[in-house]
Amino acid sequence: MIRHIVFFTAPPENLDAVVAGLELLGKIPLALHFEVVRNSKVDLFANDVDVVVYAEFPDEAALAAYKAHPIYAEATKRVRPLRELRYAADFEAQEKVALRRSA
């Protein structure tokens, strides 16, 4: 499974429009999981990120098809002029490992 995480910053006056534009991506039927959320900004050290896109795809081919979809192009067209920074990470999910506590 591929995890796709994108962080955005935007001026306060553009934030609602950025979120609305990113929510279009949820109409692309290739993700196993998709969400757009506003950062809660409760971190002690940095709260620069305004919006997060989080999605999961079964494989790299599905992620590539998602990025090639016409809705992706439309969302980019709407959001790019309104946002400031964009940071993205795509990575293969690791198996969950149970945490062990020593007695």
**Alpha-carbon distances, residue 3 vs 46, 47, 56, 73, 91 (angstroms):** 23, 22, 5, 20, 5
Q: Please report, for the domain that includes residue 55, its CATH number.
A: 3.30.70.100
Q: Is residue 97 part of a domain?
A: no
- Tokens read off for 98: 């149970």
Number of domains in the chain: 1
* Residues 6 or more apart in contact with residue 39 via CB below 8 angstroms: 47, 49, 50, 51, 52
Q: Is residue 103 part of a domain?
A: no
- Mean pLDDT on 62-70: 98
- Mean pLDDT on 14-32: 97
DSSP category for residue 58: S
pTM for the model: 0.88
Range of the domain at 82: 2-92
Q: Is pLDDT at 84 greater than 90 in this prediction?
A: yes
Place of tokens 């990470």: 89
